[in-house]
Amino acid sequence: MSEQVSHRQLSGRIVIATHNAGKLREMRELLQPFGIEAVSAGELSLPEPEETGDTFIANALIKARASAMAVNLPAFADDSGLCVDALGGYPGIYSARWAKDAGDFVKAMTNIERLMQAKGATEPAQRKAHFVSALALVWPDGHEETFEEKVFGTIEEPRGQSGFGYDPFFRPEGHERTFGEMDSQEKHGIPADGSQALSHRARAFQLLARACLRNDA
């Protein structure tokens, strides 16, 4: 017999444990239908913890735990990244660090393309990749919930100005446009019929919402 998982319902005010403006905007949009009041770690001038985990979930928990303990409120954190098959899954959990080291995401995408070319990854079948999003909810009393999802696609020549990060570089399977060419509703809007969302973050959020949120609207 499988073990029943007991989830805790989230309500009221929370901290979104991020200093990334693009990520904050997406997470607020996802939370808005549930009446959750959210303030970010950046707005509270909380320091960014060192992400020493070796998985997306581990790093999401590090960020959520730090914010929950600092302000005595439930905290919501995302750790996400781009995993390129031709590069053995890199940059993966180091996606943000690769961009920081390069100077920005545009230069990071240029560097990744250079590495892929060096591997001979020029045909679409050789340019497969996926985005991962791990979400963590942490309460001040130590209760924790984690959720992880992926979206698969292909690395393309960067196109589009929407989204953030590596979005212009990634075309999801079954679509002709990159995430950078999609508006926020198309990229991470959750279908009203409950079918699967498109983006990795929205897919992970669907899991979280089903477990920990109620929409009483």
Looking at 78, 79, 85, 167, which residue is catalytic? Answer: 79
Backbone angles phi and psi of 37, in degrees to 5: -85, 125
The Cα 15–Cα 64 span in angstroms is: 8
Per DSSP (E only), the strands in the chain are: 13-16, 37-40, 75-84, 128-138, 144-155, 170-172
**Cβ 19 vs Cβ 42: under 8 Å:** yes
Q: For residue 179, give every residue at least 6 positions away whose Cβ sits within 8 Å of its Cβ, in sequence order, or none.
A: 160, 162, 163, 167, 168, 170, 171, 172, 187, 199
Given a contact cutoff of 8 angstroms between Cβ atoms, the answer to whether 179 and 187 are in contact is yes
Catalytic residue check, 54:
no
Residues designated catalytic? 79
